[in-house]
Every structure is written in C-alpha cells, then in structure tokens.
Amino acid sequence: MSMNITLGREDIVRLAERVEGAQTRAYAIPKLTDEYPAMTIGDGYAVQSELRRRFIASGHRLVGWKAGLTSKAKMQQMGVNVPSIGFLTDRMARPENGAISTGDLVHPRVECEVAFVTKLALSGPGCTCEAVLAATDYVLPAVEIIDSRFAGFKFDLASVIADNGSSARFVGGGRARRPEELDLRTLGVVMERNGEIVGTGASAAVLGHPADAVAMLVNILAEIGETLPAGSFVMSGGITEAVAVKPGDSVVARFQELGSVSMRFVE
C-alpha cells in the first residue's frame, strides 16, 4: 500500500471487528474518528481491507467494487471532498423486482448508478476513461442501497472508507448495452419512490463521465495494492442524491437508453 497508514495492526483489526459487527448485526456506531481522531484515509482503507479479508475468509465472494461520493451532489450532501471506493460481494447482490429486507439494515438509502461489467483486467496507476471503455463488456443500470453504519449518517472520509463506503446491497437490471452504443455522459435518470419522483439527474454528475469514476477507482485500487480483474461488476457512483427508504416503499430507477430497475422494501 502506498497510502499513509498510522494505525498499528491491533487497532486495524479492532476497528474492522467493530465495523463488521455493526454491518452484520445492523446497529449504528459512533464514527471511528471519535476514538482515533488522527485516522487517515490510508487507515480507513487498511480497516476496509481487513474487513474484506474477513468476509472472504468466511466464504463471501468478491464480485466487484463501487465508487462512492463521485458527484458534487453527494459530496455536498455528505460534507466530504474526495471520492472513495468500496468492495462488493455476492452477499450484497439482490435480484431485480425483488423484496429487500430492511430488518438487517440500519438506515438504508437508495441511489441510481451506471454499472460496468469488465471483459479485460484493469490496473493503475494511470488508468484512463478510454482504458475503462475498452475494457468494458457492457453497462447496465443499477441501484445501490447504501447504509452508513454511523449514527445519524455522521462521519468523515476515513470512517466511511473503513465502513466500506456505506455499501450494503445492490441491484442490477434493465438492459445491458455496449458502451460504444451510448453517450454515457448524457444519460438522464429519474428515481421514483412510491410513484413520486424523488430525484433526477444526468450521468455526467459522476465526475463528468461514469467511466472516469471507474478509472479513478482503478487508480485507488493500485494505491491499496489491488487490481480489477476481468468479469468485475463496478458501480460508478450515485447520479442523484441518496434517498431514504423504509418498509412498504417501492423504488423504480428509470434510465434513458438502459431501461429501469425496480425493487420494494419490506420489514
């Protein structure tokens, strides 16, 4: 890792256990910097990597990665100024049109994202938008269900990275399309909750181009000593602000050219 890690191994493991407990038993915890005020972004990724190691050791399969906090709207909403990444496992995937339980989540929110599925491996540093597009098999519309484990969604970047970028669930759907058939910068997106429009946006909200967000993700992966294998599922970041959901809500994300993704939330 080329990031600045200040925490010792014991603290990293302790914090990963704390985040894992909050994620798997769905309870809110204070942000980690309350106890470790000098925690760096590198420390956040060290805790996230330990969390990933623990999940994989207990049988979860890594299926891809997510870019987070990639739009101005999200950075403003959350009071941070640098994007982040998190990992995705098979246990977080939910089928399209399905019922998603909220009993095992703290305070879920939904965001519309363009997802990429890769056919070639990518590695940084120096990964570019063009390299991402050349390595992409197809893109599809997706909804990320984020669920910060921090009380009141109050956190800073180091804490949210340790909490795996608030990753909780994700749903891919709609129509898979080849990236060269579309202008990925200008796709319009509408988010509906119970038939009411609760968010609108254009895919350019994500760092100007969703593939730029994926390139950024690959470059951060290089900093933590990882690469993106072929066959990865990558979410490029929320296009609209995140919207809270509760049991009884149904959500439809409509993407121009890519179709829609639906789900409902239950106890």
Q: Report the Cα 89 to chain-centroid distance in Å.
A: 11
Buried b (16+ CB within 10 A) or exposed e, 114-149: bbbbbeeebebeebebebbbebbeebbbbbbbbbbb
Q: Looking at beta carbons, which residue is closest to Mg ion?
A: 144
E strand intervals along 38-182: 62-68, 84-89, 99-101, 109-118, 136-146, 167-172
Find the part of the chain contacting Mg ion (CB under 5 A) among 108-116, 177-185, 216-224, 257-265.
Answer: 108-116
Does residue 168 interact with ligand 0L1 by CB under 6 A? no
Q: Residue 8: is it exposed, middle or buried by C-beta count within 10 angstroms (0-12/13-18/19+)?
A: exposed
42 vs 108, beta carbon nearer ligand 0L1: 108
E strand intervals along 78-207: 84-89, 99-101, 109-118, 136-146, 167-172, 188-193, 196-202
- Structure token pair of residue 207: 């760092």
Binding mask 67-86 for Mg ion (x = CB under 5 A): -x------------------
Q: Which does 78 bind (CB under 5 to 8 A by kind): Mg ion, ligand 0L1, none?
A: ligand 0L1
Closest by alpha carbon to 125, among 223, 260, 7, 52? 223
75 vs 134, beta carbon nearer ligand 0L1: 75
- Structure token pair of residue 249: 């809500």
Does residue 238 interact with Mg ion by CB under 5 A? yes
- Structure token pair of residue 199: 């968010």
Q: Which does 74 bind (CB under 5 to 8 A by kind): Mg ion, ligand 0L1, none?
A: ligand 0L1
Q: Which does 108 bind (CB under 5 to 8 A by kind): Mg ion, ligand 0L1, none?
A: none
Beta bridge partners of 141: 114
Closest by alpha carbon to 16, among 50, 55, 61? 50
Does residue 78 interact with ligand 0L1 by CB under 6 A? yes
Does residue 74 interact with ligand 0L1 by CB under 6 A? yes
- 44, 141, 165, 173: residue in contact with ligand 0L1 (rule CB under 6 A): 165
Does residue 238 interact with ligand 0L1 by CB under 6 A? yes
Contact 213, 237 (CB under 8 A): yes
Find the binding residues for ligand 0L1 in span 105-164 (CB under 6 A).
144, 146, 148, 160
- 44, 64, 68, 210: residue in contact with ligand 0L1 (rule CB under 6 A): 68
Residues that bind ligand 0L1 (CB under 6 A): 66, 68-69, 74, 78, 144, 146, 148, 160, 165-166, 237-238, 242
> Which residues here bind Mg ion, judged by CB under 5 A?
68, 111, 144, 238
